[in-house]
Amino acid sequence: MFRTAFENLRQKAPLIHNITNHVTVNDCANMVLACGASPIMADDLGEVEEITTLCAGLNINIGTLNSRTIDSMLLAGRTANRLGHPVVLDPVGAGASRLRTGTALRLLEEVHFAVIRGNISEIRTLASGAGTTKGVDADVADRVTEENLDAAVRFAKEFASRTGAVIAITGAIDIVADGDTAYCIRNGNAMMSSITGTGCQLSALTAAFVTANPGHTLEAAAAAVCAMGLAGEVAHRRLTPLDGNATYRNYIIDAIYNMTPQQLEEGANYEVR
Amino acid sequence: MFRTAFENLRQKAPLIHNITNHVTVNDCANMVLACGASPIMADDLGEVEEITTLCAGLNINIGTLNSRTIDSMLLAGRTANRLGHPVVLDPVGAGASRLRTGTALRLLEEVHFAVIRGNISEIRTLASGAGTTKGVDADVADRVTEENLDAAVRFAKEFASRTGAVIAITGAIDIVADGDTAYCIRNGNAMMSSITGTGCQLSALTAAFVTANPGHTLEAAAAAVCAMGLAGEVAHRRLTPLDGNATYRNYIIDAIYNMTPQQLEEGANYEVR
Amino acid sequence: MFRTAFENLRQKAPLIHNITNHVTVNDCANMVLACGASPIMADDLGEVEEITTLCAGLNINIGTLNSRTIDSMLLAGRTANRLGHPVVLDPVGAGASRLRTGTALRLLEEVHFAVIRGNISEIRTLASGAGTTKGVDADVADRVTEENLDAAVRFAKEFASRTGAVIAITGAIDIVADGDTAYCIRNGNAMMSSITGTGCQLSALTAAFVTANPGHTLEAAAAAVCAMGLAGEVAHRRLTPLDGNATYRNYIIDAIYNMTPQQLEEGANYEVR
């Protein structure tokens, strides 16, 4: 199933519009290229409507948010909705400032998202309409563990029902859920959290997977999460004792570049709850 | 000949002002350093005039264009013209939105460019004063091939005559032309298109080459295009089966860093039409 | 001593707010992660006060300065001062334009810095209240050498006394001084200057070290400068003949990721004057 989703992506090579932060924008573009899609980064109000129209999917990421780009996100999101293009939201740092929380909530009100992907703190912030996070990393007290997995799954399904979006909560265990079904994914490597932007890259990758698989948003998002985690595993096996997080970053993108649909199908490590 | 152009660059180490997009700005800076020149990135209206004056050459790239930077581009361009500094234009995504197309055309009207470097779609957009492109990648129907090479060369020479700029159209076959002479270049590797920003990096590299070789703009621009393509070949030979586009990106910059003028002279693969 | 400083950093994992340029922002974030701290990049006026409050330290870098971010720097700096959080200033390109020089001087007036880190040209610009630099690299005539080291140390101590900040002047020989004591550091490798942003990364690293070692700002800043230089040495030893500045960039971050407090203690090469 994930094999087919990835085959569709490689074959269709969709053009993905990204409005994203300037910290990890280069990595996101290379990740979109690595998976076989084509990225275009554009965030000026004067062109986002045309760029979204030209593309097949949209990825909105609120890291390094600024007043200039918020209107662009809203306009692009509404345009994508009107055209029926899937939109992914990455609420980076929601809960860390009123600007980010408020913007994320406003985006949720005005735009329908196909997928919302964040860590548990960010997703909780959106679900509760307020909250605090420790910067852009998941609050330790809020980490998804084997012990609280069932509760987290219920939370994800409920928020998915409420928003009509697939909810992807990533961390040590990833949850990808719609209102009925949740994929609990155990791919990945703990060292991924020592790289800036693996979450951002995953959101861009998710937009590519979902865009190439209309009508199969849940499976496509789960495939993207498994692919990213599997890439983290493949890349980690390549590391020598002198390699650190910079080389690891490159190897993860390399691993997506070289990943075959068959490899994803075999390497995906998940259960459905 | 290309040997001398590269020797001049390594020896003069010109300071290059770049007003460029935030996707590939880091790669462009490292590419300028790799070739032996020195980059300064500055795009605020309050300082571009001074920065351009301090530098010896200017590189303008309209990717991730925004309203804040357009006036900076115009002011820096006019300043460089007044001082006799060469200016390179990279019209990233011209044709993808009215903002980009309009800005590129306005730059063409108000600034004289030493070199305009883009893919065939972007250059066609500028030449026709309008058009569409598939995002920031060359329109497939518009690709330069052995079959349409003569027509593309005629087009490049004609546009060069009209603008007084050297026109560099890059793709599977690259064309670098003034009104009379065209270099048709067959360096490079197809995998380069799976990296974001190889075009941007080439434009920055071209600015460095052209700045270090006053009075020899055509040859210097052709040397830059050959150097980039040759770097793509050298870097590709280093790749192992697990390496992908991220490692390839690094190896291309590395290859420029290590390239000798002699290596460029011997590796350049071109004919003059 | 440096061992303890690094142990504190790894153990406390402080959250560091960075307002920095878009050229090297990704490298700065990965460097902060590599040393064991946690970065948050945020520069909008609407959120910097909250983000600074959430964090334990602040790093302000004026490369790619623009009118939108200057007010954010001032507000974040004043907020950090009020909370007693250490603030690091990297006056990238001070002297290259009135905008940068004026902004750096205004920051010095309105914010108290724990550490100011720059090359000799930038620091001289701040000390004299004016000046010129060759872009963002140190003016050759102004380079710190064995011959002028004593004079440079006196200059650094004097400027440290005047500002109440630890002054870190980096180059072939680094000087880290307060009003009384100067560390003269001979770690590093000349090839580091062929990478964009090693200075920016060092400033971010310094913010992490200083934040984790309250009451020991001088030693913590010196430890950061030694760590960066040592990383440059370790990374340089890994390079093969085909590697250049792009691979070197990654290996330096990798070297910080893998560096142990013991390794820093043993590899630090300095004298106190």
Q: What average pLDDT does this structure show over A235-258?
A: 98
Q: Tens of pLDDT along A65-86?
A: 988 899 999 999 999 999 999 9
Nearest by CB to A245, which of C22, C47, C257? C257
Classify the C-alpha dihedral A101-A102-A108-A111 as positive or negative.
negative
Q: Tens of pLDDT along C76-97?
A: 999 999 999 999 999 999 999 9
| pLDDT score of B142 | 73
| pLDDT score of A68 | 86
| pLDDT score of C142 | 74
Q: Answer whether C184's CB lies under 8 Å from C175's CB.
A: yes
| pLDDT score of B4 | 98
Map residue B1 onto helix, strand or coil.
coil
Q: What is the rounded distance in angstroms from the CA atom of residue A164 to the CA atom of residue A157?
A: 10
Say which amino acid occupies C26: N
Residue C134 has pLDDT above 90, yes or no: no
Residue A266 has pLDDT above 60, yes or no: yes
Q: What average pLDDT does this structure show over A171-176?
A: 97
Residue % of chain C over a pLDDT of 90: 93
Comparing C139 with B232, the larger pLDDT belongs to B232
Residue A115 has pLDDT above 70, yes or no: yes
Contact B244 A255 (CB under 8 A): yes
**In which element (H, E) is residue B87 found?**
strand B87-90
Nearest by CB to A15, which of B135, B245, B250? B135
Q: What is the rounded distance in angstroms from the CA atom of residue C4 to the CA atom of residue A256?
A: 40
Residue B57 has pLDDT above 80, yes or no: yes
Q: Two tokens at B183? A: 């270099």
Of the candidates C193, C177, C194, the residue with the CA atom closest to the CA atom of residue C185 = C177
| pLDDT score of B137 | 53
B38 contacts on C by Cβ (under 8 Å): 134-135, 137
Nearest CA in chain B to C92: B40
Contact B196 A30 (CB under 8 A): yes
Contact A258 B250 (CB under 8 A): no
Per-chain mean pLDDT for chain A: 95
pLDDT band, very low/low/confident/very high, at B140 (cuts 50, 70, 90): very low
Q: What is the rounded distance in angstroms from the CA atom of residue A72 to the CA atom of residue A206?
A: 21
A66 contacts on C by Cβ (under 8 Å): 43-44, 68
HEC readout, chain A: CHHHHHHHHHHHCCEEEEECCCCCHHHHHHHHHHCCCEEEECCCCCCHHHHHHHCCEEEEECCCCCHHHHHHHHHHHHHHHHHCCCEEEECCCECCEHHHHHHHHHHHHHCCCCEEEECHHHHHHHHHCCCCCECCECCHHHCCCCCCHHHHHHHHHHHHHHHCCEEEECCCCEEEECCCCEEEECCCCHHHHHCCCHHHHHHHHHHHHHHCCCCCHHHHHHHHHHHHHHHHHHHHHHCCCCCCHHHHHHHHHHHHHHCCHHHHHHHCCEEEC
Residue % of chain C over a pLDDT of 70: 96
Q: Tens of pLDDT along A175-223?
A: 999 999 999 999 999 999 999 999 999 999 999 999 999 999 999 999 9
Q: Tens of pLDDT along A121-143?
A: 999 999 998 544 544 555 545 78
pLDDT band, very low/low/confident/very high, at B67 (cuts 50, 70, 90): confident
Strand partners, C166: C115
Map residue B272 onto helix, strand or coil.
strand
How close is the nearest chain C Cα to the Cα of A103, in Å? 11
Q: Answer whether C137's CB lies under 8 Å from B38's CB.
A: yes
| pLDDT score of B141 | 53
| pLDDT score of A140 | 45
Residue A41 has pLDDT above 50, yes or no: yes
Residue % of chain B over a pLDDT of 70: 96
Per-chain mean pLDDT for chain C: 95
pLDDT band, very low/low/confident/very high, at A159 (cuts 50, 70, 90): very high
Of the candidates B273, B13, B10, the residue with the CA atom closest to the CA atom of residue B149 = B273
CA-CA distances (angstroms) from residue C119 to C132, C137, C184, C199?
Answer: 13, 7, 14, 8
Nearest CA in chain B to C250: B250
Nearest by CB to B242, which of A33, A38, A258? A258
Which DSSP string do the residues of C87-101 spell out, in sequence order?
EEEE-TTBTTBHHHH
Q: What is the rounded distance in angstroms from the CA atom of residue B109 to the CA atom of residue B78?
A: 11
Chains in contact with chain A (at least 3 beta-carbon pairs closer than 8 A): B, C
| pLDDT score of A142 | 74
Residue B135 has pLDDT above 90, yes or no: no
Predicted ipTM beyond 0.90? yes
Q: What average pLDDT does this structure show over A161-182?
A: 97
Stated pTM of the model: 0.96
CA-CA distances (angstroms) from residue B241 to A237, A250, A261, B192, C271?
Answer: 14, 14, 17, 16, 47
